[in-house]
């Protein structure tokens, strides 16, 4: 049970390493000169005035009262796309958001996407165009490489929308404008900052049985603190039917394996990545195979259709399934190697639409092969090339998040100030596995106890 055996340690580290509202790219500019401060304030004032001139007065007033957010948007390197809530959207923000300064600022930052987004490139349903925002506060985003919380853009009835778990937020037509390197696209409804894994499962009424299992023994926190996870969530009906029909209520080892078949560790495999990143190996050490035409996921002899893609939560992404991935094969060594490889793949400061060449995580370069010896034998490796937010692309001094220039959004968790590459080495993103794995046997044992009552 070595894999995931010390996630609790990582959870503590994540909790202690600074829940902050603003990206580190802004915080590192605290030493700017008085002249620079004057120029920045001039930009902020101009930005707020430009919002007012485009009938976004309530957003402008909100930023006037939260100018650190406006500074972060304007000062973050590279291009940005601001999905600007219009007056009705700002008015519609719930009181529990507007009365909480940290949550309000985080909500605004989640509307600022890192990079440029051409809405005409949104893929056909059911897939989405996904990108990272400037929301890196660790209370609301705990993603590989320190990247900001992800946002999904989709087509609905031929119109581009922001896709959330149960809402679609429409763009306001013919009111786009450019301010410096910020493209402003007004939005008719504000987004909601996603919760952690347990809160998100609670929101999904027909997929909450897993949550009930977790809460039965108060173990949800460990799952919530996993930094980077893809969870395939079967329906409650399918899960109960499988447990009862297979007669595994009395076999804890089978139930443990069942849960592991539904999790990719240290990876945020958004829908657009499922068929593009090569190998996918789950926490049971089994291949996860995606069929885009069939819209399905297969593990071993078990196949489930994806009924909804890209439900974001604090530490990753969920995809809802219509069936259980009921494969019973387990390879602990392969699962451990896959987790280590995925963890080492973390990249910081991903800008622009996520793709197999531009993502925060993958299966990595040390992909264990499918045979019993875990040898590669030509098994397809999974590599990524990050598009950093700073100009000039990848791989030169100054683009590491804590280096002398460029990286953004807490990417320093990846590079520890070397200023070389894209923030994926020598930092917390490459902690030894002994300091970054979950006690998954404990997790599944708790789930087992709960499932025995089904």
Domain harbouring 214, CATH code: 2.30.180.10
The last residue of a domain, from among 187, 219, 240: 187
Q: Based on the domain organization, do 218 and 132 belong to the same domain? A: no
- Give all strands (DSSP E) within 263-342, no chain letters: 263-265, 289-291, 296-299, 302-313, 316-321
Phi-psi region of 443 (alpha: psi -120 to 50; beta: other; left: phi over 0): alpha
Instruction: Dig out the tokens for 152 from the structure.
Output: 């999904």
How confident is the model at residue 153, as a pLDDT? Answer: 96
Cβ contacts of residue 327 below 8 Å, gap of 6+? Answer: 257, 261, 284, 286, 299, 300, 301, 302
Q: Based on the domain organization, do 68 and 214 belong to the same domain? A: no
Mean pLDDT for each 10-residue chunk of the chain (454 residues)?
A: 40 33 42 58 95 97 97 96 97 97 98 95 91 96 96 90 88 90 96 91 75 50 79 91 78 78 92 88 94 95 96 96 93 93 90 93 79 46 42 32 30 31 31 32 38 40
Q: Based on the domain organization, do 398 and 292 belong to the same domain? A: yes
Given the DSSP bridges, would you call strands 289-291 and 263-265 parallel, antiparallel or unpaired?
unpaired
Q: Based on the domain organization, do 39 and 136 belong to the same domain? A: yes
Q: Based on the domain organization, do 357 and 421 belong to the same domain? A: yes
| Sequential DSSP letters for 334-365 | HHHHHHHHHHHT--S-B-SS-BTTB-S--S-S
How confident is the model at residue 212, as a pLDDT? Answer: 56
Nearest partner of 187 among 196, 200, 175, judged by Cα: 175
Whether residue 201 is contained in a domain is answered as yes
How confident is the model at residue 411, as a pLDDT? Answer: 31
Taking the C-alpha atoms of residue 230 and residue 266, their distance in angstroms, rounded to an integer, is 8
How confident is the model at residue 222, as a pLDDT? Answer: 65
Nearest partner of 146 among 423, 436, 435, judged by Cα: 423
The last residue of a domain, from among 187, 221, 253: 187
Cβ contacts of residue 88 below 8 Å, gap of 6+? Answer: 188, 189
Q: Count, in order, helices (H) and strands (E) of the chain.
A: 16, 14
Q: Based on the domain organization, do 125 and 25 belong to the same domain? A: yes
Please tell me the pTM assigned to this model.
Answer: 0.77
Q: Based on the domain organization, do 182 and 202 belong to the same domain? A: no
How confident is the model at residue 370, as a pLDDT? Answer: 62
For 251, half-sphere exposure in the C-beta direction (CA atoms, 13 angstrom radius) is: 11
User: For the chain, what is the domain count?
Assistant: 2
Whether residue 12 is contained in a domain is answered as no
Instruction: Dig out the tokens for 333 from the structure.
Output: 């060594």
Strand (E) or helix (H) holding 129? strand 129-132
Q: Based on the domain organization, do 93 and 233 belong to the same domain? A: no
Cβ contacts of residue 222 below 8 Å, gap of 6+? Answer: 7, 8, 11, 438, 439, 442, 443
Q: Based on the domain organization, do 25 and 142 belong to the same domain? A: yes
* Residues 447, 440 contacting (CB under 8 angstroms): no
* Residues 429, 414 contacting (CB under 8 angstroms): yes
Whether residue 324 is contained in a domain is answered as yes
Q: Based on the domain organization, do 25 and 166 belong to the same domain? A: yes
Whether residue 2 is contained in a domain is answered as no
Whether residue 15 is contained in a domain is answered as no
* Residues 363, 273 contacting (CB under 8 angstroms): no
Residue-number span of the structural domain to which 126 is assigned: 20-187
């Amino acid at each position: 049970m070595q894999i995931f055996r010390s996630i609790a340690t990582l959870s503590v580290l994540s909790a202690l390493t600074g829940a902050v509202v603003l990206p580190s790219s802004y915080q590192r500019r605290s030493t700017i000169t008085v002249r620079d401060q004057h120029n920045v304030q001039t930009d902020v004032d101009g930005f707020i005035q430009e919002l007012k001139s485009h009938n976004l007065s309530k957003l402008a007033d909100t930023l006037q009262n939260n100018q650190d957010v406006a500074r972060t948007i304007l000062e973050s390197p590279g291009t940005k796309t601001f999905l600007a809530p219009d007056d009705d959207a700002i008015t519609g923000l719930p009181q529990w958001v507007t009365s909480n300064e940290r949550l309000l600022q985080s909500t605004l930052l989640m509307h600022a996407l890192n990079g440029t987004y051409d809405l005409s490139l949104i893929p056909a349903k059911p897939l989405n165009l996904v990108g990272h925002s400037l929301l890196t506060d660790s209370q609301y985003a705990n993603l590989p490489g320190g990247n900001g919380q992800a946002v999904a853009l989709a087509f609905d009835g031929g119109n581009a929308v922001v896709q959330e778990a149960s809402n679609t937020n429409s763009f306001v037509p013919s009111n786009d404008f450019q301010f410096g390197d910020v493209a402003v696209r007004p939005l008719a409804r504000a987004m909601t900052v996603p919760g952690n894994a347990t809160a998100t499962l609670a929101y999904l009424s027909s997929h909450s049985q897993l949550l009930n299992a977790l809460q039965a023994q108060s173990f949800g926190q460990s799952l919530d603190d996993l930094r980077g996870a893809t969870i395939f969530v079967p329906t409650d009906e399918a899960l109960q039917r499988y447990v009862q029909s297979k007669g595994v209520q009395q076999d804890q080892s089978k139930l443990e394996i069942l849960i592991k078949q539904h999790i990719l560790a240290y990876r945020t495999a958004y829908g657009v990545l499922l068929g593009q990143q090569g190998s996918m190996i789950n926490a049971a050490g089994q291949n996860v195979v995606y069929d885009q035409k069939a819209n399905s996921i297969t593990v071993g002899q078990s196949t489930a259709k994806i009924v909804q893609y890209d439900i974001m939560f604090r530490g990753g992404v969920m995809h809802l399934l219509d069936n259980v991935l009921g494969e019973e094969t387990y390879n602990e060594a392969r699962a451990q190697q896959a987790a280590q490889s995925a963890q080492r793949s973390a990249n910081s400061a991903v800008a622009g639409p996520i793709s197999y060449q531009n993502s925060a995580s993958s299966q990595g370069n040390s992909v264990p092969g499918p045979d019993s010896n875990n040898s590669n034998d030509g098994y397809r490796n999974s590599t990524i090339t990050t598009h950093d937010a700073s100009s000039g692309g990848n791989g030169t001094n100054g683009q590491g998040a804590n280096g002398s220039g460029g990286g953004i959004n807490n990417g320093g968790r990846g590079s520890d100030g070397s200023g070389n590459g894209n923030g994926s080495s020598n930092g917390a993103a490459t902690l030894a596995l002994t300091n970054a794995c979950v006690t998954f046997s404990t997790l599944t044992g708790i789930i087992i106890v709960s499932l025995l009552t089904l």
